[in-house]
């Protein structure tokens, strides 16, 4: 077990620099152009060090020091722990892009469609390959139905303006991935996400009341909780 954890941590650390690049690129407010260069020195944003600082000018760029590395390593350990078949490739892909999406949503309250699409496309291709490798293409029907179910439930919340527009596409992709593991995991992931987001919102309200400040619905990014709920459901399933 120790070697597996060590390898998983190493993988997490190796994927962190490009994930930091993605986070810095996409973590811009709605309506602003993507950040493809350091705003301070103009150096291209691709791979970023764990310090969370631009290699050119040492200015703050993207997520805080060590944060992406810690989360990516933890997710890699969780994926390694859950690994039990060819679908683990899809889980790993969703884990990596999920780290980027989670950080972007936490920073600027949005889940960019390009990142959502990349997560969905990778999961779809890798799950299809896994289903063929295992000789049971029928499981893909359940994945599709789970994707539609979770995606539509979240879309209802988007229509009710309870969620942001990026939450339902992410739910669609995660629902499809969790559908591989069965309906209890797919719906359990959504349930865990809502419970965690609700707890977080409650904490924010209590903290705001203590400081006599107002809380708005937009203060709670739901993406990180959808991702965390999905991971918990896979581990529990």
Q: Which residue, 57 or 83, has its beta carbon nearer to Zn ion?
A: 57
Among 57, 108, 145, 205, binds Zn ion (CB under 5 A): 57
Residue 41 within binding range of Zn ion, rule CB under 5 A: yes
If one asks whether residue 38 binds Zn ion (CB under 5 A), the answer comes out as yes
Of 27 and 193, the one with the shorter C-beta distance to Zn ion is: 27
Q: Cα separation of 54 and 59, whole Å? A: 5
Using CB under 5 A as the binding rule, whether residue 56 contacts Zn ion is answered as yes
What minimum distance in Å lies between the beta carbon of 58 and Zn ion? 7
- Residue 167 neighbours by CB distance under 10 Å: 26
Taking alpha carbons only, the member of 102, 225, 127, 113 closest to residue 181 is 127
List, in sequence order, every residue forming a beta bridge with 44; answer none if it has no partner: 37
Q: Is 50 in the site for Zn ion (CB under 5 A)?
A: no
8 Å CB contact between 87 and 126: yes
Q: At closest approach, how far in Å is the CB of 40 from Zn ion?
A: 4
**CB neighbour list of residue 147: distance below 8 Å, 6 or more residues apart:** 172, 173, 175, 176, 179
Residue 47 within binding range of Zn ion, rule CB under 5 A: no
Interface residues toward Zn ion, by CB under 5 A:
38, 40-41, 43, 54, 56-57, 59
């Amino acid at each position: 077990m120790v070697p597996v954890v060590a390898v998983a941590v190493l993988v997490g650390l190796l994927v962190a620099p490009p994930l930091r690049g993605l986070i810095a690129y996409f973590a811009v407010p709605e309506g602003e152009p993507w950040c493809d260069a350091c705003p301070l020195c103009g150096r291209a944003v691709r791979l970023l060090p764990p310090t969370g600082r631009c290699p050119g000018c040492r200015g703050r760029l993207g997520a805080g020091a060590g944060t992406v590395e810690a989360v990516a390593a933890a997710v890699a350990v969780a994926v390694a722990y859950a690994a039990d078949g060819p679908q683990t490739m899809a889980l790993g892909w969703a884990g990596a892009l999920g780290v980027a999406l989670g950080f972007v949503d936490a920073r600027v309250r949005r889940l960019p469609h390009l990142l959502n699409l990349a997560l969905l496309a990778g999961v779809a291709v890798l799950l299809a390959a896994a289903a063929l490798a295992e000789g049971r293409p029928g499981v893909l029907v359940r994945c599709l139905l789970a994707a539609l179910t979770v995606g539509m439930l979240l879309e209802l919340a988007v229509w009710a303006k309870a969620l942001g527009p990026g939450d339902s596409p992410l739910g669609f992709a995660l629902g499809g991935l969790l559908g591989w593991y069965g309906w209890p995991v797919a719906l359990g992931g959504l349930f865990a996400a809502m419970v965690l987001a609700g707890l977080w919102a409650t904490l924010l309200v209590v903290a705001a009341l203590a400081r006599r400040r107002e809380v708005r619905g937009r203060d709670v990014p739901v993406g990180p909780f959808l991702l965390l709920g999905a991971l918990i459901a896979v581990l529990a399933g």
